[in-house]
Amino acid sequence: MRIASKVVKGLAVLLACLVFNSAAQAQTSKPIQANSAWPKQAIRIIVTFTPGGAPDILARVLAESWQQSLGVPVLVENRPGYGGNIGADLVAKSDPDGYTLLIGTVGIHAINGALYDKMPFHPIHDFTPISFLASTPNVLIVNKKLGVTSLHELIDLARARPNELTFGSSGVGTSLHMSGELLKEMAGVQIRHIPYKGRAQSLPDLISGRISMLFDNLSSSLPLIKAGEVQALAVTTLKRSPAAPEIPTMAEQGFPGFEATSWFSLMAPANLSPALQKRLNTLTRQTLNQAEVKSKLLASGLDPAPGSPQELSRLIQSESNKWGRVIYRSGAKLE
């Protein structure tokens, strides 16, 4: 009886140990959520154009706010070139861990896929949408020495001098480039496109007269327009911009339906966890809904409007269809 009692007690102790060890093992092997300790290192926001433009402004607004609230460095890296594809490719091939993000553009996600024969990434499937950030009208500005003060005068000059006038943009495939192509198609004129890596290179050439005109984001060109260094002819939205209500629209000047808005979004690599996607969306909304931030961006010609990832996905698909048709009709195609 004593032996049996000891055996029973021993088995009970052994069973208890096994249960404890099994529970401990289960606890230590429990999957760790991808964002349970996020962020624990520096975050990079990739901007696919040179400093100073609208995407750069938005990236630095997010970086400043997040750095204060998250307590980790938030770095803005400018990776210009190839219509935004160089920087976007870097993000597309990064780990989906929330530490490498992209300021997406209409060019990268809705234009380049139809414009380029070969893409190093898929503009939709290789990214996780986080939030729409802001939009800005594009504005047509000309060298003051050109001697035109209205869109009608510019079109008349272009018809009289086919292929002599030039228009610049911040890169092939950008909405600024497509604005020029849309103008050429609707007006039936021939104007040569001169692409740049960014506004930092194109604006000095416009002011000096090396190029005739330039499509730029209103937020970027507004200081030059107000200073009288360039002549603004039209904005490319259907309504005038509150930031510059004196500049008429393209539609007002004989081109009904002309609309080409530059918009910007926050994107992450594909396969980002839903939890991190939600966290980043919340952070973005909190930043852009701050009264001080909204006021600053609106004064710069940027209209902040953060939204859900689903809304952003629908916008990208709609814009892809629209610009795909423009590219097909224009015959523009790049290697």
- The token pair at 30 is 């429990």
| Phi, psi angle pair for 116, to nearest 5° | -95, 135
Please tell me the predicted confidence (pLDDT) of residue 316: 97
User: How much is the mean pLDDT over the chain?
Assistant: 87
Q: How far apart are CA 115 and CA 241, in angstroms?
A: 29
Single-letter code of the amino acid located at 300: S
Spell out, as residue ranges, where the chain has pLDDT lower than 50: 1-35
CA distance 266 to 255: 32
pLDDT for position 330: 73
Q: Distance between CA 245 and CA 120 in Å, rounded? A: 40
Contact 225, 244 (CB under 8 A): yes
Q: At what angle do helices 218-227 and 54-70 cross, to 10 degrees?
A: 110
* Calpha distance 265→123 (Å, rounded): 13
Q: pLDDT tens digits, residue range 4-38?
A: 343 333 434 333 343 333 333 333 333 334 445 89
Q: What is the pLDDT of residues 171-206, one digit of tens each?
A: 777 888 889 988 998 999 999 999 887 777 888 999
In the chain the domains, ranked by start, together with CATH numbers, are 43-135+262-330 (3.40.190.150), 137-253 (3.40.190.10)
Task: Give bridge partners of residue 217 from the DSSP assignment.
Answer: 138
Q: Which pLDDT score, from 0 to 100, does residue 36 have?
A: 58
| Res 23: pLDDT | 36
Q: What CA–CA distance (Å, rounded) separates 201 from 168? A: 10
Q: What is the pTM of this model?
A: 0.77
Enclosing H/E stretch for 74: strand 74-78
Cβ atoms within 10 Å, residue 157 = 18
